[in-house]
Amino acid sequence: MEVIMNKINITKRNKCRICGSENLKKWITLEDMPLTDNIKYEELDSEFLDNIDIHVCMECFTSQTLTDISYNEYYNDYNYSVNQSQTANKFMDRLCNKLCEEYKFKNGCTILEIGSSDGSQLKYFKDKGAEVFGIEPSKELCDISKAKGVPVYHGLFDENIINKIPIDFTKVDLVILEYTFDHLPEPMSVLKNIKTILNKEGLVVIEVHDLEKILKRKEYCLFEHEHTIYLSKETIKYILAREGFEVIDFNLLEESEKRANSLLVVAKLKCEKEELAIWNKHSIHNFSIYENFKIELNLSMKKLNQFINDNINSGKRIAGFGAGGRGVMTLAAINCGNKISFICDNNTMMKGLYTPKTHIKIVDPVYLKEDPVDVLIVFSFGYIEEIKKQIKAITNKKIKVVNLLDILKI
């Protein structure tokens, strides 16, 4: 079924994205949620709001949305990038070095990244002598990538991609997807297409958010319209096996070297599709874990509402840090999300814009020098130590910097 809301096409499906089963069970709903990157100017004409419903397939146990949104124009103007973060750059540098060390990638090896953003990750490989190429749906990010000397195709990775990329990249040694695989409407089709361009001894590196961490930490902010699937180690292993891939490493990087919520997977091709086991013991396959999460999440959201209200009622001013998906969705889902004064973000492209639904102004962190607050909630908690240092360098006022996860704990 297809409907149109505010010029955005929405298609509803009734089958699992992975195995095609209709045995799907809804386990959480977040009502009237925006698109995470639908950042706007103050003059708001209309904006997209719709429920986010997360279902689990009772056959393959993949958690997922059953809604597909036409993103052509949306992603064309997308400009989110982490290249200004020391923490993110440290991760990209470490990932590059570790892959080259562990799997002996040499000068001249060919690397393709799907969802290559502004080319930051590929630049690390290029500097080591690799031949690199990116695929990115955002024109703005493509332009930045090209300015860095990282070639990129502006578009989506689909079955026709082999006709759109340079001949040198029709067979590659490494395919990378960082926080891209869980955005795909048809992840199995993408894996099929990857197989057509991957050398026999090639590798695939996939980074997604870890569903088990989401459940444990009550990270409801990661439930987004833009995220189609939510994976655990078990489910991503199953998904890859369905298309003839074998996971060879879940521990390429230490946990301390990864980003805030990162499930990092290295996989290779198998000669034959792996025989698929039926799981029945792993906790992620017990529906009661989702029912318990729903109860605990309500308590966590009440805690966040109370934290904001209590501070405001006591005369304190609150701001946020991180206007990306975590900040946008955290505030959009609670009752008093629009009560914070402003949100700081290092992405200069967001300066002066407003968050969707809550309509909170986004400012450069240096704004804290002229308008300091009492409490700063860090939504981008993976960068909290970097943020604390930045705040100290900006203002002498004592600001209480709080990790979002600490508030959500029950």
Q: What is the pLDDT of residue 3?
A: 43
The number of beta carbons lying within 10 Å of the beta carbon of residue 364 is: 16
Domain 86-269 identical in fold to domain 288-408? yes
Mean predicted confidence (pLDDT) in 122-126: 98
CATH class of the structural domain 86-269:
alpha beta
CATH class of the structural domain 288-408:
alpha beta
The number of beta carbons lying within 10 Å of the beta carbon of residue 393 is: 10
Does 279 have pLDDT greater than 90?
Answer: no
Q: Model confidence over 145-198: pLDDT tens digits? A: 999 999 999 998 888 888 889 999 999 999 999 999 999 999 999 999 999 999
Does 88 have pLDDT greater than 70?
Answer: yes
Does 6 have pLDDT greater than 60?
Answer: no
Report phi then psi at 124, rounded to 5. Answer: -65, -40
In the chain, where the domains are located: 2-65, 86-269, 288-408
Q: What is the pLDDT of residue 86?
A: 85
Q: Model confidence over 206-225: pLDDT tens digits? A: 999 999 999 999 999 999 99
Q: Indicate the pairing of strand 263-269 with strand 362-363.
A: unpaired
Give CA torsion, residues 123, 99, 251, 86, to 10 deg. Answer: -30
Q: Model confidence over 283-301: pLDDT tens digits? A: 567 888 999 999 999 999 9
Structural element, H or E, at residue 5: strand 2-5
The answer to whether the Cα torsion of 88, 89, 91, 96 is positive or negative is: positive
> Which tokens in the block code for residue 396?
């002498």
Which among 229, 226, 401 has a CA at the least distance from the CA of 326? 226
What does 137-199 look like in DSSP terms, one character per residue? Answer: S-HHHHHHHHHTT--EEES---TTGGGTS-GGGSSEEEEEEES-GGG-S-HHHHHHHHHHHEE
Residue with tokens 């319209």, as numbered in its chain: 225
Which among 313, 364, 372 has a CA at the least distance from the CA of 341? 372
Mean predicted confidence (pLDDT) in 44-71: 89
Q: Rounded distance, CA 153 to CA 151, Å? A: 7
